[in-house]
Structure 1
Amino acid sequence: MTDTPLQQYRASFDTWGPWALLAVGAVAGTLSARLIGMDRPGVIACVVLVPAAAVLQLYWGRAKRRRPGPSRTGVCLFLLRWAIAFVLTWANPFFAFYAVTGYYTAARELPRRLVLPGLFLTAVTMAGSEIGGWPPHGLIPWIGFFLVLAVNMGMVGVFTRFAEQEQARLSVQAETIAELERTNTALQQALEENAALHEQLLVQAREAGVADERRRLAAEIHDTIAQGLTGIIAQLQVVANAPDLPTARTHLDRAAGLARHSLGEARRSVHNLVPVALESDQLPEALEKTVTEWGERTGLRAGFTLTGTAEQLHDEVAATILRIVQEALSNVARHARATRAGVTLSFVGDEVILDIRDDGVGFDPLAPTARSRSGGFGLPGMRARAERVAGSLTVESEPGLGTALSARVPLVRHDR
């Protein structure tokens, strides 16, 4: 994770701050030496200890690079720097510029239990400087020293409290950011997994569609083409044994009619392999054309009704609804002996409802013969189509009262 500007500033100050404060203290001490009346031992102490402080700071920088954070070495170096700063401040109060480094390094260089003692030692040095230097002479200076020390410790306590609160806030913020990053990573992984799962479901849907089409074609061939060819063969056998030409011609005409009908059924089956009607029209228009053409072809009254606000559906959903209508109308034409049929498409909330009704002979859905009377593979195929797109199909019928199919599928909009 990239350091924040505040963290970069702190790292830079940790490296160069003590050097700058030592330099300021040395310059201020040199310029004020005669003014404050430094004696010879004080000058010698400063001449010796300023280079020692520089060497100490150089060694400290290398030690921190090897082992950052609180350690025993850090405690020893902190105490040694405090001792040097205390003696320099005793010799010249202006070296308090260097002694102040103890305030901002104690929390980072010392263990938690030693932070307060380290701040207290620094406050002692600073209080001695603020009353004019060590040692206080007389009762009043000592009282002043303790008052200044108390003020320093009070300010240290307040600022330490603020620093701890800020550090806690930064820690919570860092944890929140880290948690958000983990959440975003998990969300991205979930999105990738969902995309892979969606692709897998599409593949399975295509495979199920292929199997469904195979079953439908098997039903078409069994119920129409195979039966037509059987009839043609039967008529030709009669022709072979016909006693006269008119009889043979009659059966040849019947065979030709069956052949034309079977050819039409074969073409219709091939046409239904792909929902061509949806290539140029939306689902409502395609359904209306399908119902109209079916009525013209069968001679039955047929009507289409649209309710609700039509929306552009996903290709799989639209194709499923169109195929169900085609299959249902085919069953009506072949088995219902109806005079009229109606198809209603309704957009209701997050569902699309398809209703198909006829006034045919009906059947008992629970009877063992219901499957054959409903068109062989028709109802199971339509139900499988609806369930493949997370929908359902229900059938209501009674002998002599017609049949009503209702398919409900989710409203899945077209991918933009």
Structure 2
Amino acid sequence: MIEQRWGMFFRWGPYVLLGFGTVMSVATSVVIGMSRDAWYVVGALIVAALALQLWWGPLARSRPGPSTAGIVYYALRWAIAFVLTWINPFFAFFAIVGYFGTERLLPPRLVKPGLFATAVIMAGSQSGGLPPHGDLGWAVFGALLAVNVALLTVFAHLAAQEDQRALDAAATIVELERTNTALQQAMDENAALHAQLLVQAREAGVADERRRIAAEIHDTIAQGLTGIIAQLQVVAAASDATLAREHLGRAADLARHSLGEARRSVHNLSPTALEHDALPEALKKTVAEWSERTGVRGDFTVTGAAEPLHEEIEATLLRIVQEALSNATRHADATRLGVTLSYMEGEVALDVRDDGRGFDPLDLVRRSGSGGFGLDGMRARAERVAGSFTVESEPGHGTALSARVPLVRHG
């Protein structure tokens, strides 16, 4: 907007100021004492100034910036203004255009000489006209010229500071844009990495589920089928009907148990508890169902402001609780168990504590070469989503399991 206004001034300003100077000269011609010959000269110079402006207007739009044509234009305009002001000091209104846009017309080495030349015209007009009369006139002219040069220096310094501030602001904007671009790229890279990690976690989870299902089949269903086959072989070889019925009953019990194990394995293929409930409600129901099934008191607590988590995070925490409850059923012999889900800034904590028989974690590692009791599986689940898993236990003093995972919101 400012640039457009300056463009309008450079285009139309010389015409307006020349016209105003002409009007003032006509009004003061009697006081100044202009002769008819002087008016002939003034008229010719006004026509020359108009022709010069008409020549320069299109050329300035086609050749912006300092050029040889700009130097010629500035010199001719200054010469016309100098002669007009010599004839009548009020033509200094036209000469004042030499103060504006000098750097657009002249190369840097000629800017100061051009401004000084314009200051000469202005000081001559202010001192009563050119040439100065007598020593006093020259002294006044010299003083006014010094004042004009000093003002030019001050204004040039202020303009330079303003230009520097503008350059600094432009550089700051460019730097901010570069920083914002780099930040956006980093955010995009982080989002892509996050998505990649989730894909890897999902793939690792699939592999883990396959290993778990294989272990489930080996430890439950396959063993149950082996037992059934053994019982049926006894029946086939038995001659006593009572003994045969006894072993057939055992085979039926093993079949029912294996069927239950198969259903439990199928149920655990995917966290169906999360299909209709959020994580807190799903954990609460899981603990309640476990407590009802085992007869052990189970308490569930939520701390912090609950919020929807990413599906992988919720599934991981639910699986860890299910495994922990399964371990407690098989090994803890507890009378009370508590599950606490804590929402914290940037993190979700899951704690499972029981008052069971406990164990020595170090002794368990020495004997089994791993964490045992499904602890390795729970630790692997937590670490696959960039979390951590710790175990605290002591013989006779219960067990405490703790999982910490990032708070990755849904969506």
Which range, TM-score by smaller chain? 0.7 to 0.9
Q: Partner letter of residue 366 of structure 1?
A: V
Deviations 1:276-307 (Å, cap 9, x if unpaired)? 323444434433332332233344x2422426
Q: Show the counterpart of 1:90.
A: 86
CA distance in 1, matches of 2:111, 2:29: 33
Q: Show the counterpart of 2:372.
A: 374
1:102, CA displacement in angstroms?
0.6
CA distance in 2, matches of 1:360, 1:374: 16
Q: TM-score, with normalisation over the residues of structure 1?
A: 0.87
Secondary structure at 1:274 match in 2: coil
Q: 1:237-256 residue pairs with structure 2 within 5 A?
A: 237-256=233-252
1:176, CA displacement in angstroms?
2.2
Q: Show the counterpart of 1:304.
A: 299
Q: How many residues align?
A: 406
Secondary structure at 2:365 match in 1: coil
Q: Show the counterpart of 1:353.
A: 350
1:401, CA displacement in angstroms?
6.5
Q: Aligned pair in 2 of structure 1 residues 13, 193: CA closer, same or farther (>3 Å)?
A: farther
Q: Aligned pair in 2 of structure 1 residues 81, 293: CA closer, same or farther (>3 Å)?
A: same
Indicate conservation of the 8 Å contact 2:21/2:93, yes or no.
yes
Q: Show the counterpart of 2:364.
A: 365
Q: Aligned pair in 2 of structure 1 residues 196, 409: CA closer, same or farther (>3 Å)?
A: closer
Is 1:235 the equivalent of 2:234? no
CA distance in 1, matches of 2:144, 2:106: 25
1:361, CA displacement in angstroms?
6.8
Q: TM-score, with normalisation over the residues of structure 2?
A: 0.88
Q: Aligned pair in 2 of structure 1 residues 166, 213: CA closer, same or farther (>3 Å)?
A: same
Q: Aligned pair in 2 of structure 1 residues 199, 111: CA closer, same or farther (>3 Å)?
A: same
CA distance in 2, matches of 1:51, 1:33: 19
Q: Aligned pair in 2 of structure 1 residues 241, 215: CA closer, same or farther (>3 Å)?
A: same
Of 312-321 and 117-126, more deviation after overlay is shown by 312-321
CA distance in 2, matches of 1:186, 1:54: 54
Q: Show the counterpart of 2:21.
A: 25
CA distance in 2, matches of 1:355, 1:53: 95
Secondary structure at 1:243 match in 2: coil
Q: 1:58-69 residue pairs with structure 2 within 5 A?
A: 58-69=54-65
Name which of 207, 211, 231 aligns with 2:203.
207
CA distance in 2, matches of 1:87, 1:168: 37
Q: Partner letter of residue 187 of structure 1?
A: L
Q: 1:24-173 residue pairs with structure 2 within 5 A?
A: 24-173=20-169
Q: Aligned pair in 2 of structure 1 residues 35, 147: CA closer, same or farther (>3 Å)?
A: same
Is 1:288 the equivalent of 2:284? yes
Is 1:270 the equivalent of 2:252? no
CA RMSD in angstroms comes to: 2.7
Deviations 1:160-183 (Å, cap 9, x if unpaired)? 222222222222222223333333
1:75, CA displacement in angstroms?
2.7
1:392, CA displacement in angstroms?
1.1
Gaps of 5+ in 2: none
Q: Partner letter of residue 246 of structure 1?
A: T
Q: Show the counterpart of 2:180.
A: 184
CA distance in 1, matches of 2:334, 2:130: 119
Q: Aligned pair in 2 of structure 1 residues 49, 175: CA closer, same or farther (>3 Å)?
A: same
Q: Aligned pair in 2 of structure 1 residues 109, 28: CA closer, same or farther (>3 Å)?
A: same
Name which of 255, 260, 276 aligns with 1:259.
255
Indicate conservation of the 8 Å contact 1:235/1:252, yes or no.
yes
Q: Aligned pair in 2 of structure 1 residues 370, 241: CA closer, same or farther (>3 Å)?
A: farther
Q: 1:384-403 residue pairs with structure 2 within 5 A?
A: 384-397=380-393, 403=399
CA distance in 2, matches of 1:340, 1:216: 28
CA distance in 2, matches of 1:219, 1:155: 93
Q: Partner letter of residue 374 of structure 1?
A: G
Name which of 328, 338, 342 aligns with 2:337.
342
Q: Partner letter of residue 354 of structure 1?
A: D
